[in-house]
């Protein structure tokens, strides 16, 4: 009877995961979808704790340990997830993903330790689960470090050769171990270390702008690692959950690449890293740019009919979304039509800007998707770019040698005036110059986005 | 060779294999045409779902002998990390989506 309930719980778990993912991909049902999947997860977890029996029919023990770990994990996880700034969401997701990878890695470690003479099938599952879990763990930690600026982009010369050697070593050692040519445990631990090194080197050269894609890919890796656990314990819910995330994650990764018009291969080789060297080698002369004062900006915007605000990562780091909404309300009071032009990959993650502006209560209908924003651009008087760079870089349309060539951009040049708020003339995340800043229509307004917006608001009140 | 044969003759393994293949297609189908606005929450939600590894961690932990300190310690950590993945993942996703629904309600 208990086993029937357990299996039924697993079935419910699997169904909620499928339903959850399905609902998550529609705006109206997304939040409920998340709750549905979470409920299914809870059912599966508690059913396992209380009803699971091994082959001899023994129930699980060590309840104090299990519950202590569950409570610690829940408290820390909830606090971390609640406290994190909206801007740091991407890092957080990457970190949680790494935790899942590490969990899969530890399971493999213990199971290897438990099975002195495993069958080929079990060994295969243990070793593969460990490799994928470890790569995902190490990679996610690096991605996390990169996103919060702790780790800088580094392109290691000959990285591809090193990676190839690592792959060859991983493969041959795994074949030796799984094929039964050796039973030495050092081989297993060497595989563990190599996988960790590979995970680090895999993410290291990839540019920050591509990080969302990498996180999504590592996300699907962890899914596959979880699925290997499903094989290990003959557990259907781990299998469906893991594989679903594995395949959905892969598709999502490809969709994200498409949104940025980059191929997965380019992302993985880290062509931004490589191209950066090329661009730096032929430093184009920085043209002349002109600055604009706060006062002039305020006047220009106050007498405009239509203003389009283009937010980017600068807005996110400065936490300026509320100040931005303030400015927008003030302009509307003065009879100016204000819209937001949202590039799908502005910020650090697709949809990053939507989430951020929604937090500041910016009405949904003011957020224009890129195509709509571009359609309205020629009738716009003033475009205010807040800390966005690559998504408005005309090189993506005009310069075939540019690393971002082909990426769809917001065509701000069609507007009458372009005001760019940035902290300095430094290039954006892709590490390339932006000719937009030197165009005659463009004026620069330097400073931290939040400070500038607050100052603009007080200036506007006096206009 | 024997292992490969087992894939098809052992009913348990064959069943798992069927689940794998069907799940792959299901995963592709389910994601289908998701708007780019939802990419981040979807990734985050999927991230929480692969936290099912925690079930493996619980099983390992529950089967560890009371004097097997290595398994107990590692298993303890595995359960903590798995819980972090599950709980943190779902809470973060909910926070992201909360903002979407907030503006929906106001509309």
pLDDT (tens digit per residue) in B52-80 = 999 999 999 999 888 888 899 999 999 99
* A376/A410 same-domain check: yes
* A98/A236 same-domain check: yes
Catalytic residue list contains A390 = yes
Q: Which residue has the higher pLDDT, A391 or A259?
A: A391
Q: Is the pLDDT of residue A130 over 90?
A: yes
Closest approach of A462 to chain B, Cα-based (Å): 31
Q: Is the pLDDT of residue A273 over 50?
A: no
**CA torsion, ordered A145, A349, A98, A249, to nearest 10 deg:** -150
- Does the CA dihedral A276-A281-A282-A288 come out positive or negative? positive
Q: Check: CB of residue A419 under 8 Å from CB of residue A297.
A: yes
CATH of the domain at A334: 3.40.50.1220
Q: Give pLDDT, residue B7.
A: 67
User: pLDDT class for A187, splitting at 50, 70, 90?
Assistant: very high
**Which of A153, A372, A390, A448 does the annotation list as catalytic?**
A390
How many residues are present in chain A? 463
Closest CA to A256 of A270, A267, A247: A267
Q: Give pLDDT, residue A280.
A: 39
Residue that is last in its domain, among A283, A300, A321: A283
Beta strand pairing call for A306-311 and A382-386: parallel
Domain span holding position A361:
290-462
Q: Which residue has the higher pLDDT, A38 or A342?
A: A38
* A66/A109 same-domain check: no
Q: Check: CB of residue A132 under 8 Å from CB of residue A224.
A: yes
User: pLDDT class for B107, splitting at 50, 70, 90?
Assistant: very low
Of residues B31, B54, B60, nearest to A110 (C-beta): B60
Residue that is last in its domain, among A51, A83, A115: A83
Average pLDDT over residues B39-56: 93
User: pLDDT class for B8, splitting at 50, 70, 90?
Assistant: confident
Q: Check: CB of residue A244 under 8 Å from CB of residue B49.
A: yes
Average pLDDT over residues A426-445: 78
Q: Give pLDDT, residue A361.
A: 83
* A306/A401 same-domain check: yes
* A124/A222 same-domain check: yes
B residues 28-47 near A, CB within 8 Å?
Answer: 28, 30-47
Of residues B34, B72, B81, nearest to A62 (C-beta): B72
**How crowded is the C-beta side of A340, counted as CA atoms within 13 Å?**
26
Q: Give pLDDT, residue A148.
A: 82
Of residues B12, B77, B88, nearest to A234 (C-beta): B12
Q: Check: CB of residue B72 under 8 Å from CB of residue B61.
A: yes
Residue that is last in its domain, among A32, A53, A83: A83
Average pLDDT over residues A374-401: 85
Share of chain A above pLDDT 70, in %: 92
Closest approach of B107 to chain A, Cα-based (Å): 7
Largest Cα–Cα separation, chain B: 63
Which chain A residues have a beta carbon less than 8 Å from that of B85?
77, 96-97, 99-100, 103
Separation CA A166–CA A225 (nearest Å): 19
Which chain B residues have a beta carbon less than 8 Å from that of A68?
76
What is the spatial order of strands in the sheet that A367-369 belongs to? A290-291, A442-446, A417-422, A382-386, A306-311, A337-342, A367-369
Residues whose CB is less than 8 angstroms from the CB of residue A290 and which lie 6 or more positions away in sequence, other chains included: A442, A443, A444
Q: Give pLDDT, residue A90.
A: 83
Q: Give pLDDT, residue A20.
A: 94
Asked if A68's CB is within 8 angstroms of B41's CB, the reply is no
* A128/A76 same-domain check: no
* A129/A146 same-domain check: yes
Interface contacts (A, B; CB < 8 Å): 390
Share of chain A above pLDDT 90, in %: 39
Q: Is the pLDDT of residue B100 over 80?
A: no
* A95/A193 same-domain check: yes
Arithmetic mean of pLDDT over chain A: 86
Give the tens place of pLDDT for each residue, B83-98: 999 999 999 999 888 8
Q: Which residue has the higher pLDDT, A207 or A146?
A: A146
Residues whose CB is less than 8 angstroms from the CB of residue A265 and which lie 6 or more positions away in sequence, other chains included: none
Residues whose CB is less than 8 angstroms from the CB of residue A348 and which lie 6 or more positions away in sequence, other chains included: A90, A147, A208, A211, A212, A313, A316
Separation CA A126–CA A128 (nearest Å): 6
Q: Is the pLDDT of residue B36 over 80?
A: no
Q: Give pLDDT, residue B2.
A: 63
How far is residue A375 from each of residues A305, A371, A378, B6, measured CA to CA in Å?
16, 6, 7, 60
Which chain B residues have a beta carbon less than 8 Å from that of A259?
36, 39
* A241/A378 same-domain check: no
Q: Which residue has the higher pLDDT, A249 or A434?
A: A249
Instruction: Tell whether B67 lies on the interface with A, counting CB pairs under 8 A.
Output: no
Q: Is A11 exposed, middle or buried (0-12, 13-18, 19+ CB in 10 A)?
A: middle
Of residues B46, B53, B95, nearest to A107 (C-beta): B53
Q: Is the pLDDT of residue B4 over 70?
A: no
User: pLDDT class for A428, splitting at 50, 70, 90?
Assistant: low
Q: Give pLDDT, residue A18.
A: 94
Give the tens place of pLDDT for each residue, A283-322: 445 567 888 888 888 888 888 899 999 998 888 878 888 8
Q: Give pLDDT, residue A140.
A: 96
Separation CA A56–CA A68 (nearest Å): 26
Average pLDDT over residues A1-25: 92
If one counts the domains in chain A, the total is: 3
* A331/A451 same-domain check: yes
Q: What is the pTM of this model?
A: 0.80
User: pLDDT class for A124, splitting at 50, 70, 90?
Assistant: very high
* A297/A426 same-domain check: yes
* A140/A218 same-domain check: yes
Query: Most A CBs within 10 Å: which of B52, B69, B74, as the mutation test of the A interface?
Result: B52
B residues 68-87 near A, CB within 8 Å?
Answer: 70-72, 74-87
- Does the CA dihedral B24-A344-A405-A208 come out positive or negative? negative
Largest Cα–Cα separation, chain A: 81
User: pLDDT class for A188, splitting at 50, 70, 90?
Assistant: very high
Please name the residue of chain B whose CA is at the shortest distance from the CA of residue A41.
B52
Instruction: Tell whether B4 lies on the interface with A, counting CB pairs under 8 A.
Output: no
How far is residue B62 from each of residues A114, A117, A289, B73, measured CA to CA in Å?
13, 21, 66, 12
Q: Give pLDDT, residue A275.
A: 42
Separation CA B107–CA B99 (nearest Å): 13
């Amino acid at each position: 009877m208990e086993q029937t309930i357990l299996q039924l719980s697993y079935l419910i778990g699997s169904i909620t995961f499928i339903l959850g993912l399905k609902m998550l991909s529609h705006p109206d049902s997304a939040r409920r979808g998340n709750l549905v999947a979470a409920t299914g997860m809870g059912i599966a977890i508690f059913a396992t704790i209380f009803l699971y029996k091994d082959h001899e029919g023994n129930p699980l023990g060590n309840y104090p340990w299990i519950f202590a770990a569950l409570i610690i994990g829940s408290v820390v996880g909830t606090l971390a997830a609640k406290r994190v700034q909206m801007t740091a969401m991407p890092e957080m997701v990457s970190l949680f993903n790494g935790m899942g990878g590490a969990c899969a890695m530890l399971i493999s470690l213990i199971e290897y330790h438990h099975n002195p003479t495993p069958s080929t099938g079990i060994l295969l599952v243990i070793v593969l689960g460990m490799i994928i879990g470890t790569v995902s763990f190490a990679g996610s930690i690096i991605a996390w470090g990169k996103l919060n600026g702790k780790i800088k982009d580094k392109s290691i010369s000959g990285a591809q050769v090193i990676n190839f050697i690592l792959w060859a070593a991983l493969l041959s050692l795994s074949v030796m171990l799984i094929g039964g040519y050796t039973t030495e445990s050092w081989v297993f631990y060497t595989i563990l270390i190599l996988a960790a090194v590979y995970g680090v080197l895999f993410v290291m050269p990839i540019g920050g702008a591509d990080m969302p894609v990498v996180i999504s890919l590592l996300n699907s890796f962890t899914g596959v690692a979880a699925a290997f656990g499903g094989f290990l314990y003959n557990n259907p819910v781990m299998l469906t959950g893991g594989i679903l995330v594995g395949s959905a994650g892969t598709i999502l990764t490809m969709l994200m690449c498409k949104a940025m018009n980059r191929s997965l291969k380019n992302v993985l080789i880290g062509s931004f890293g490589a191209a950066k060297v090329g661009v730096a080698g032929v430093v184009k002369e920085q043209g002349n740019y002109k600055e604009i004062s706060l006062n002039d900006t305020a006047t220009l915007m106050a007498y405009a009919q239509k203003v389009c605000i283009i937010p980017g990562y600068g807005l996110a780091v400065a936490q300026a979304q509320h100040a931005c909404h303030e400015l927008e309300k003030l302009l509307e009071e003065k009879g100016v039509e204000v819209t937001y032009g949202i590039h799908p990959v502005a910020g650090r993650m697709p949809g990053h800007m939507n989430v951020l502006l929604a937090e500041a209560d910016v009405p949904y209908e003011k957020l224009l998707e890129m195509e709509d924003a571009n359609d309205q651009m020629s009738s716009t008087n003033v475009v205010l770019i807040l800390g966005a760079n690559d998504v408005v870089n005309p090189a993506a349309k005009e310069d075939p040698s540019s690393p971002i060539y082909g990426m769809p951009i917001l065509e701000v040049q069609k507007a009458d005036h372009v005001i760019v708020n940035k902290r300095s003339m430094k290039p954006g995340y892709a590490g390339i110059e932006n000719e937009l800043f030197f165009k005659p229509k463009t004026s620069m307004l330097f400073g931290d986005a939040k400070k500038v917006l607050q100052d603009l608001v007080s200036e506007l009140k006096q206009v | 060779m024997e292992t490969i044969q087992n894939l098809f003759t052992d009913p348990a393994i064959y069943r798992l294999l069927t689940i794998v293949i069907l799940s792959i297609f299901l995963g592709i189908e389910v994601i289908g045409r998701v708007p780019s606005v939802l990419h981040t929450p979807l990734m985050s939600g999927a991230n929480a779902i692969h936290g099912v590894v925690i079930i493996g961690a619980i099983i390992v932990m529950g089967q560890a002998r009371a004097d097997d300190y290595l398994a107990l310690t590692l298993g303890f950590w595995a359960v903590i990390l798995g819980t972090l993945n599950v709980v943190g993942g779902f809470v973060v996703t909910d926070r992201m989506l909360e903002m979407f629904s907030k503006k929906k309600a106001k509309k």
